[in-house]
Amino acid sequence: MGSAVVGLNVAPKRAIFADLNPHIINFYNMLKSKELNSFIVAEYLREQGALLAEKDDEHYYYIRERFNQNHDPLDFLFLNRSCFNGMIRFNKSNDFNVPYGHKPRRFAQAYITKIVNQVRHFEDVLRGNDWTFICQSFEDTIELADGNSFVYCDPPYIGRHVDYFDSWDEVQEARLYRCLYKVKTRFMLSTWDHNQYRGNQYISLIWNSCHKITKEHFYFVGAKEENRNAMMEALLTNYTTTGNTNKTSPRHTACEQRALAL
Ligand SMILES: C[S@@+](CC[C@H](N)C(=O)[O-])C[C@H]1O[C@@H](n2cnc3c(N)ncnc32)[C@H](O)[C@@H]1O
């Protein structure tokens, strides 16, 4: 699920969106049930934005504290849009711990309009489609797929900074590989391929039987300046873009066999 940017762009008629972060899923479920809507979001951001402009840090940390107690989805949105670099990071006690972003007039009218329009767009897309949002790990979600499903996975990038609800390591990456091959359906996975310093060794260690498409992307959101670099991103699939799939008899390398055994 994440920010839903991929889902919104692909806009499938019927889909299950899953994420381990309950606050993300809760936010979208509230929009689906109409407990939240773009008008409520607009009013909330105008009110809290004015308080942030007046009290600055003090108000940000007040909302952060309140969110960590009540888990209000509107406070989650506020934090996400005013914290440092838009990061989503939780500590071991599952408390949101990203510091304040210190952008002057953060919730100026133009920015509120932008966010509200995004929510409105989401509401419009939701109206025309059959979408379900579930908070669960990928193992349980992939299990729901059948031969007609298409599975898209965008896990935290292995071996890079992880600022998500859950950490991600090679055991998770190998488990994801095993789950995907078990369901025997078409899948696509986003990951990183290389930057100027190093490459993603797991592409050859784990995903070697996949087809790969790469595209350069420039990151502006690294916490440190040196992390704001061009990155070659990879899309891995178990089928070719010409439509031939290798889903029934993938040939696994020795490393992949080990990953399957994990
Ligand atoms: C790169 S982001 C996804 C971005 C998303 N495709 C988008 O459109 O914004 C990775 C997501 O994986 C989630 N995640 C981490 N571990 C997970 C797990 N075991 N199962 C499911 N989701 C997980 C994180 O909470 C995070 O939202």
Q: What is the pLDDT of residues 179-214, one digit of tens each?
A: 999 998 999 999 999 998 899 999 999 999 999 999
Could you tell me if 214 and 232 are in contact, meaning their C-beta atoms sit under 8 angstroms apart?
A: yes
- The length of the chain in residues reads 262
What is the 168 CA–ligand 1 centroid distance (Å)? 10
If you measure from the C-alpha of residue 19 to the centroid of ligand 1, how many angstroms do you get, rounded to a whole number?
A: 5
Would you call 211 exposed, middle or buried from its count of C-beta atoms within 10 A (0-12, 13-18, 19+)? middle
- Is 211 in a helix, a strand, or coil? strand
DSSP H helices in the chain: 5-10, 22-32, 38-55, 57-70, 73-82, 109-128, 138-142, 170-183, 201-205, 254-261
Tens digit of each residue's pLDDT (9 = 90 or more) over 123-162: 999 998 999 999 999 999 999 999 899 999 999 989 876 6
Tokens of 126: 């939701």
Pocket test for ligand 1, best of 1, 143, 163 (most atoms within 8 A of CB): 1
Q: How far apart are CA 249 and CA 239, in angstroms?
A: 11
Q: Return the pLDDT at 104.
A: 86
CA–CA dist 135, 42 (Å, integer) = 26
Distance CA 131, CA 158 (A): 28
User: pTM to 2 decimals?
Assistant: 0.86
SS3 95: coil
CB 199 within 8 A of CB 193: yes
Quote the CA–CA distance of 101 and 121 in Å, as a whole number: 26
Q: Which of 8, 21, 157 gets mutated to test ligand 1 (max ligand atoms within 8 A of its CB)? A: 21
Q: Is the pLDDT of residue 15 over 60?
A: yes
Predicted confidence at residue 251, as pLDDT, reads: 47
Region at 83 (left for phi over 0; alpha for psi -120 to 50; beta for the rest): beta
Q: Is the dihedral of CA 35, 36, 39, 41 positive or negative?
A: positive
The per-residue pLDDT for 67 is 98
User: What is the tens place of the pLDDT at every residue in 221-261?
Assistant: 555 655 667 889 999 999 986 644 444 334 445 545 545 45
